[in-house]
Amino acid sequence: MTTFLSGIQPSGQQHLGNYFGAIRQHIASQEVEGEHYFFIADYHALTTTRDAEQLRENVRELAVTYLALGLDPERVVFFRQSDVPQVLELTWLLATVTGMGLLERAHSYKDKLAKGIKPSVGLFTYPVLMAADILAYDATDVPVGKDQVQHVEMTQDMAGYFNGTYGEVFVIPKARIPEREKLAKVPGLDGEKMSKSYGNGLWIFEEGKALKKRIGRILTDSRPPEEPKDPDGVLLLDFLSLFLDAEELGEWRERVRAGGAQAPGYGHLKARLIEAVDEHFGPARERRRELLADLGEVERILEQGAERARERAAATRDRAYRACGLRG
């Protein structure tokens, strides 16, 4: 059976880039036949987050976001990483057979060093914990972006080192890269890549006056509506492309290209974008409000998922312990 494993760090409110770049694909993947494990990577978050209450809030926000957007805990094992301690036990076992050279070659580690981030042991051994996350559940397929493929390859190496030393214990996973046409390029309000660090994002659940204000900040120019424009150079059309069907989007693009009396002004495009965002996320906003009013239900869902995850991870841990001599 195919077993999928996905995880995401809790980093606060999720924006459109997070949604169209990952969340939408994660939720759609639950329709694919197989087992699905999805975890909130709060252990990993400790390499960057030092505020305890902020971390707890980020975990709640991420859980509510995914559930509101349609993640079904009946079809997906949804849990907090830190609720499965067996993962840390497997991390140590993998660390004992993994050379430092492999970890030193990690792109993410080298990138952080280049940015002047002070390295911690946790940051250096991050790939080992990630490997344990994957191997604990006998994952066969790990959906990742191209920038994360190396982590899956390192997991393959670590599993291979352990299996070569102690026998066939771990399932060797493979990376599954989403089809290019299913990925959407999401610009920020300023035209650069949407990013929390740039402050140019649009929160998934923004609504009302706040939504209007944020969309009002999308970069435009001073050209009048009647002036013909290259639609590829109109940032608002890039945003609309995320929500509209091909036919309607084509009509808006052609009107912008043609110019004249029937051409839409930037205000018209912003108004249509607000409508489109409301149409797309309206039901999820309501579901989010329901979840926030009953956080006990959210906690129950996470704990129920953790029970299922611990059962699988414990079986893998026990298998690994017996192989290396820690059990009879």
Start-end ranges of CATH 1.10.240.10 in the chain?
196-289
Read off the pLDDT band of 150 (50, 70, 90). Answer: very high
248-280 residue pLDDT tens: 999 999 999 999 988 899 999 999 999 999 999
Start-end ranges of CATH 3.40.50.620 in the chain?
3-184+295-324
Of 111, 178, 104, nearest to 146 by C-alpha is 178
Instruction: Identify the pLDDT of residue 165.
Output: 97
Instruction: Identify the pLDDT of residue 315.
Output: 98
Instruction: Identify the pLDDT of residue 181.
Output: 43
Q: Looking at 59-73, 137-151, 289-303, which range is the least confident one?
A: 137-151
Instruction: Identify the pLDDT of residue 180.
Output: 52
**Facing residues of 193 across strands?**
187
Task: Return phi, psi of residue 203, to 5°.
Answer: -60, 140
Q: Is the dihedral of CA 89, 95, 98, 101 positive or negative?
A: positive
Q: Is the dihedral of CA 256, 259, 265, 268 positive or negative?
A: negative
Residue 21 has pLDDT above 80, yes or no: yes
Q: Looking at 4-13, 18-27, 97-106, 110-119, which range is the least confident one?
A: 110-119
**To the nearest whole percent, how much of the chain has pLDDT over 70?**
98
Instruction: Identify the pLDDT of residue 218.
Output: 97
Q: Looking at 6-10, 21-25, 87-91, which range is the least confident one?
A: 21-25
HSE value, Cβ hemisphere, 13 Å, CA-based, for 287: 15
The residues that are catalytic are 112, 193, 196
Quick one: 257 exposed, middle or buried, by C-beta within 10 A (0-12, 13-18, 19+)?
A: middle
282-316 residue pLDDT tens: 999 999 999 999 999 999 999 999 999 999 999 99
Element (H or E) spanning 108, and its range? helix 107-114
- CA dist 81 and 9 (Å) reads 10
Mean pLDDT of 5-20: 94
Fold of 3-184+295-324: Rossmann fold (3.40.50)
**Contacts for 141 with CB less than 8 Å, ≥ 6 apart:** 2, 3, 4, 5, 34, 173, 174, 176
Class of domain 196-289 (CATH, top level): mainly alpha
Instruction: Identify the pLDDT of residue 114.
Output: 82
Instruction: Identify the pLDDT of residue 184.
Output: 64
Residue 328 has pLDDT above 80, yes or no: no
Q: Is the dihedral of CA 42, 43, 48, 50 positive or negative?
A: positive
176-216 residue pLDDT tens: 887 654 556 799 999 999 998 889 999 999 999 999 999 99
- CA dist 300 and 232 (Å) reads 47
- How high does pLDDT run on average in the chain? 94
Instruction: Identify the pLDDT of residue 22.
Output: 87
224-253 residue pLDDT tens: 999 999 999 999 999 999 999 999 999 999
Mean pLDDT of 160-169: 98
Contact 99, 163 (CB under 8 A): no
